[in-house]
Structure 1
């Protein structure tokens, strides 16, 4: 199968993206807050993103991906799917800017074809593999994943790809391989924010081997039945639904199997805020915001009622055993 396709300073999160916790927990204080300039800035930012979302269309150049509905236990939720326009206009992709609407505005410069991914480290079959080769390594599945991002927003997206374990089986990791690194392209010519001081480039994510081999971990080539748009990580990314927003390596150019725990991008930038594991856990607050609730993008705008966040984003039955006996507050 062929795909046919034509982050200066630490700024995470920006103030226009996050309503102060004391405000959103108390509606009376919210009304007082609305009388200040902060409210105007937040509302203006929201309106701008809404306008951008309305402009996003399914580009005709994105090829359809043939996929079957996944049979992996827990891989498909029955919740309402987020609109395509919202999922493709409200993104984190710091290589194209730190605001949520920057990727949709700026990622047109990314050139997702031709594309290769180098697989290296502790494997028997290292090599540089073309995207077309990766696509043939397993049948494509559609998985409708519930996704809760770092700053408290969530979506439900139908992804297209296959379990990352298929890649591991192809390249045959050695017995001492304990971790997998996922490395994003860092090309300042096509990614305008690469070189900014917000992160140490390239963007790197990592999983413990058993996390990577869990069938829910998805090497992803598409969404909504089509090839990934640039702003969503074209042409290939990793989706880890119980860590979404923490572990979301996009536009992958290298996968490395290693014995030592890798230093991930956000762990290097702010180790006190982003531990290696970074699970979605309502009982473990981020130092600057709560994980207890979330706001579903596309539901009634800025003042939508928040949902309670689920442990491991609702995938506890599938992944809870990976962390048996671990102190998840210490191993954040």
Structure 2
């Protein structure tokens, strides 16, 4: 099934392009049994020597069992580096996330840019252990390092016309082999309502597990909104645009019946091809059962943002 300009409908992804979670788990188990270090096989060994960051711990998610560093960095959705789950770790090694600057545009007092170094000085880096839920039915618990998006918003000084924020990911077909294939309308675009962006749980992540963010996880800076499905988390953010109207995001353009703007984790609204009432935690083992998905991924404090909204219509 093709879209215009020979772009394939992303809702029809060939099975050969995806590493199923079960196959990934089996491969990991075989490596362990064979006595081979999974980290050296699933992703480049230089990640284990990545620079560490100074940060302060918080109480977010301290009771959760973390997903392993190997799984967090070895099983990813990042279509700019390929549609297979192991493609990003393998194909992102040539991507250079430094130096880096983010353009601030749109409904702000003054358009400007901010370097990664400047961004990291806007607020202390914190460890936020968040449950992360993918629309495909799998989940992880990840110790992100980041700062509240609100700190950047305050610095950007948006005007009263700013009702939404649009996030544009870096797009470089030279070093991003997946971006050479028109499976999506590049560059990747995501968005939030301004009050969602200001919510204290919303962060810009620059690291995980105490280390600088790996390329396959969205280096050097990505959006993390833990009560939403993972595709909302724009990676390698190069432009942040304050706008008056709801952005037409990448997955909305690709398949609006399957991917709504809000993308709130909602166990009562199934994806047309997957149940959203339960999830499989990556790294739990081949025979671990599915767990019940919670509304807003368990982050009940965000419910007030959607008071009075029909969350089946605005999915």
Equivalent residue in structure 1 for 2:99, among 92, 95, 114: 114
**In 2, Cα distance between equivalents of 1:42 and 1:322:** 33
The change in CA–CA distance for 1:131 and 1:276 in structure 2 (over 3 A counts) is: same
| Residue of structure 1 equivalent to 2:55 | 67
- For the Cα contact (< 8 Å) 2:10–2:254, is it kept in 1? no
The change in CA–CA distance for 1:48 and 1:139 in structure 2 (over 3 A counts) is: same
Q: List per-residue Cα deviations over 1:123-170 (Å, max 9, x = no partner).
A: 113211111111111110000001111100000000001110000100
Say which is worse superposed, 53-62 or 266-275, in terms of deviation: 53-62
**In 1, Cα distance between equivalents of 2:314 and 2:192:** 13
**In 2, Cα distance between equivalents of 1:54 and 1:9:** 33
Matching of residues 34-49 of structure 1 within 5 Å? 46-48=25-27
Say which is worse superposed, 234-243 or 56-65, in terms of deviation: 56-65
Cα RMSD over matched residues?
2.1
Q: What count of residue pairs does the alignment treat as equivalent?
A: 299
Using the TM superposition, give the Cα deviation of residue 176 of structure 1 relative to its aligned residue in structure 2, in angstroms.
Answer: 1.2
* SS of corresponding position for 2:296: helix
| Residue of structure 2 equivalent to 1:207 | 192
Using the TM superposition, give the Cα deviation of residue 314 of structure 1 relative to its aligned residue in structure 2, in angstroms.
Answer: 0.5
The change in CA–CA distance for 1:49 and 1:233 in structure 2 (over 3 A counts) is: farther
The change in CA–CA distance for 1:139 and 1:330 in structure 2 (over 3 A counts) is: same
Extract unaligned runs of 5+ from structure 1.
1-7, 20-40
The change in CA–CA distance for 1:48 and 1:17 in structure 2 (over 3 A counts) is: farther
| Residue of structure 2 equivalent to 1:10 | 9
Equivalent residue in structure 1 for 2:296, among 312, 315, 319: 312
Question: Structure 1 stretches (4+) deviating beyond 2 angstroms?
Answer: 8-19, 41-61
Using the TM superposition, give the Cα deviation of residue 109 of structure 1 relative to its aligned residue in structure 2, in angstroms.
Answer: 1.6
| Residue of structure 2 equivalent to 1:198 | 183
The change in CA–CA distance for 1:101 and 1:131 in structure 2 (over 3 A counts) is: same
**In 1, Cα distance between equivalents of 2:80 and 2:133:** 21
Extract unaligned runs of 5+ from structure 2.
1-6, 32-36
The change in CA–CA distance for 1:49 and 1:248 in structure 2 (over 3 A counts) is: farther
Q: Within the alignment, does 1:329 sit opposite 2:309 as a pair?
A: no
- Normalised by the size of structure 2, how large is the TM-score? 0.89
**In 1, Cα distance between equivalents of 2:219 and 2:124:** 19
- For the Cα contact (< 8 Å) 1:10–1:197, is it kept in 2? no
